[in-house]
A and B are shown apart, each in its own frame.
Chain A
Amino acid sequence: GEDVEQSLFLSVREGDSSVINCTYTDSSSTYLYWYKQEPGAGLQLLTYIFSNMDMKQDQRLTVLLNKKDKHLSLRIADTQTGDSAIYFCAWNYGQNFVFGPGTRLSVLP
């Protein structure tokens, strides 16, 4: 079966960069995703990367994909208090989706 590892907690100071890491087992996915869950809400797609790409940048977000090591990371530049949330890595597995356990990001003033 699929197995995913994520650090459960991360604390950073406002203005610093945050790096959230994810390792996965399934290498056949077409897309890999980062979802964000704010308190009391459902998950929302933050960004995604096509599996044949190494990097994708979207404003403050940078996604890095190392397929050889099955490692996915999300970097948030100039982290703000509004970035405090739980971040899930995910990928498609056939018609299904597999989610990591989530990393709770706390942004300290």
Chain B
Amino acid sequence: DAGVIQSPRHEVTEMGQEVTLRCKPISGHNSLFWYRQTMMRGLELLIYFNNNVPIDDSGMPEDRFSAKMPNASFSTLKIQPSEPRDSAVYFCASSLGGAGTGELFFGEGSRLTVL
């Protein structure tokens, strides 16, 4: 299996632009998570889905952030408009949900820089 695939790996954009981050979870996994990592705040959970349904989006910073999971093999995280304080590494992770040890499998992350 190729693991969790994220794109783009790096994005540099200007304040006010729309940013779309993409994630392909591991096939068969039914839970998907979006995290944000910064030096100041560490690893923060933004939102997670179970069977394509958003379960908890209380970590989404504000209305500028939105996430979708139209099917079991694809999710997007959108920031519109982007601001410099959104600069961070955004990770997508997937798991089998309640099955097994519940291990989370992380993608390699998307490093976002907003100028």
Contact = CB atoms under 8 A, between A and B. Distances in A.
A95 B43 contact: no
B interface, size bucket: 20 to 34
Contacts, number: 49
A43 interface: yes
Which secondary structure dominates where chain A touches chain B? strand
Given A31-B102, A42-B107, A48-B101, A95 B55 contact: yes
A42 B43 contact: no
A96 B104 contact: no
Interface in A56-105: 88, 90, 92, 95-97, 99, 101-102
A-B pairs, 3 with minimum CB distance:
A42-B106, A101-B42, A43-B106
Interface string B72-112: 00000000000000000001010001100111111111000
A108 interface: no
Contacts of A40: 108
A31 B105 CA distance: 15
Given A41-B108, A42-B91, A43-B91, A99 B43 contact: yes
A30 B97 CA distance: 13
Interface of B: 4, 31, 33, 42-43, 45, 48, 50, 55-56, 91, 93, 97-98, 101-109
B45 A96 contact: yes
A44 interface: yes
Interface of A: 30-31, 33, 35, 40-45, 48, 88, 90, 92, 95-97, 99, 101-102
A99 B50 CA distance: 19
Contacts of B109: 41-42
- Most interface-central of A33, A97, A99, A101 (chain B CB within 10 A): A97
B45 A95 contact: no
B43 A48 contact: no
